[in-house]
Structure 1
Amino acid sequence: MAELIVPKPSVALAVQALIAGLPQTGLTGVFVSSKKPGTATGHRILPGKFIRVTRLNPGGMLNRVTDQAHLLFECWDDSGEGEKLANAARGVLRAASGQTIAGGFVRCAGDDNGPVEFPDPDVPSHDRYQFTVDLLISTN
């Protein structure tokens, strides 16, 4: 029987990296989750700043010991500084290289694309910028 290799949960890792790292950029109180804030997350009113993290294709196992997680980061801000929030998140993710976060070792944060302004018609009160990053996460 072949060795069982189970990748670490990449979205949870990225969420934890942002929660821990954004205050170091001067941004506090940012809601970060895999879900958009709403009744399912206990919010009746949208937070002023929030980030949703989702995993996209392509991605997958780069080799036996590295998962290539292609992640989308959507950054909303009600103060007109959505790009600033996105850039702070990008910096936090780059700094995650070489760190163990949420039980997973981040080998590298690469293929950073963005940020791009992408208004959300469901949330006209907030700017939304989004970007993608590939996190290379050790499986062992």
Structure 2
Amino acid sequence: MTAATDSSRHFAAKLRFETDPSDVRAAQQAGDGFVLVDSRGEAAWRQGRASGAVHLPTAQIAERAATVVPAGTPVVVYCWGPGCNGSTKAALAFSLLGYDVREMIGGFEYWAREGLPVEDDHGVITRAADPLTAPVDGVSCAC
């Protein structure tokens, strides 16, 4: 096997199992059928979450997934951010149950920093995009 073949397989698999906040938001707006799952604890959920997400802490996935996410429905999971592997643990838990699951890299941190819709128990929170993480004058990074 050549290095090019190895790297092609690696990056293809990475794109198959990972996604990012802007792609998740675009998929939400397109009406793609998936459930966005916030896998953080109750305090984090109450502090703020990606609009459209459902709350299912990682520790409860094995027990409650079937009541929150219908069988056969694709799942995208997130946790705090790139310094946290909670979304990886959540993705593993969903995959062990047979769900088609992707991990949203960057987590809630990058969702919020990109200026995407955030809500808390009081409603929608509007934040400006952080110019270090997202274009402030355009719709996307054009990648």
TM surpasses 0.5:
no
Q: Normalising by structure 1, report the TM-score.
A: 0.30
Q: Normalising by structure 2, report the TM-score.
A: 0.29
**More helix by proportion, 1 or 2?**
2
